[in-house]
Amino acid sequence: MEKIHLNVRISPTLSDKDWAVLSAYCEKSERLIATKLISSDQSSINGKIRYDQEKGLRFEATLPPEELVAEFLISFRFFYMKKEKTFFLRALNILRKLVDDADARQHFNLLKQRWENGLFSSAMSIQLNGETMTASLLLNLWFNAHYFHSDEDKTEKLKELNEAFSNDFSKYMMLDGAFEAAKAVLSVYDSIKDMVKDRADNT
């Protein structure tokens, strides 16, 4: 996973509450980095749409082992779920309003775009029953119907989606966007980790 490193200077008006968010963000980022999907060469994720005259349209995907997928999603959800202290946009908004450098602000604006493009864009514009399939939609279904909860309505919707595209291709679309969004998460971490460590060492 490529990294963009940018050292930033933060306004001294940053509150203790905001520092706590950034500190927790770094801790969860290190947990994300430690997942095998990020730290090893086992992160092969790709999907294909094929047409066969006999079988018709087919959706195929190559995925990492399931235990690696689950480990990655457990760590990624700390940045994806809005209720979490380490929600990506919460941390990013703290930085965007307090940096005193135009280049840094532009960098964080681009990271927000990368996050949103990873989760809310659909490069292939795949739709099911008029609804565009985005990573965010799929994460919501996989999280609430498979990995962390057993919501009946979302379980049924995920089942319909998997029948339409195949279980593996559905999971591929979800993971592809989450993996792209994780790059934005870790770019923020690379920008603030030294600053957060320095503050911890001096308090």
C-alpha–C-alpha distance, residues 203 and 201, integer Å: 6
- Lookup result for tokens 């933060």: 10
Cβ-contact 145, 191 below 8 angstroms: no
What is the DSSP track for 28-71?
A: HHHHHHHSHHHHSS----EEEEEEETTTEEEEEEE---HHHHHH
Q: Which of 41-50, 58-67, 76-85, 159-168 has the highest mean pLDDT?
A: 76-85
Which pLDDT does position 77 carry in this prediction? Answer: 96
Say whether pLDDT at 185 is over 90: yes
Say whether pLDDT at 63 is over 70: yes
* Mean pLDDT (whole number) for 5-20: 71
Which pLDDT does position 99 carry in this prediction? Answer: 78
Amino acid at 68: L
HSE, CB side, 13 Å, CA atoms: give it for residue 121. Answer: 11
Say whether pLDDT at 7 is over 80: no
Phi-psi region of 116 (alpha: psi -120 to 50; beta: other; left: phi over 0): alpha
Which pLDDT does position 158 carry in this prediction? Answer: 93
Cβ-contact 143, 137 below 8 angstroms: no
Q: Grade residue 122 by pLDDT with cuts at 50, 70 and 90.
A: low
Q: Grade residue 144 by pLDDT with cuts at 50, 70 and 90.
A: very high
Beta bridge partners of 131: 128
Q: Grade residue 3 by pLDDT with cuts at 50, 70 and 90.
A: very low
Mean pLDDT value across the chain: 85
Closest by CA position to 37, among listed 61, 69, 62:
69
Name the percent of the chain lying above pLDDT 90. 45
Q: Grade residue 132 by pLDDT with cuts at 50, 70 and 90.
A: confident
Which pLDDT does position 4 carry in this prediction? Answer: 46
Cβ-contact 185, 88 below 8 angstroms: yes
Which pLDDT does position 83 carry in this prediction? Answer: 94
Which pLDDT does position 134 carry in this prediction? Answer: 87
Count of CB atoms situated within 10 Å of the CB of 133: 21
Say whether pLDDT at 129 is over 70: yes
Closest by CA position to 69, among listed 139, 132, 2:
139
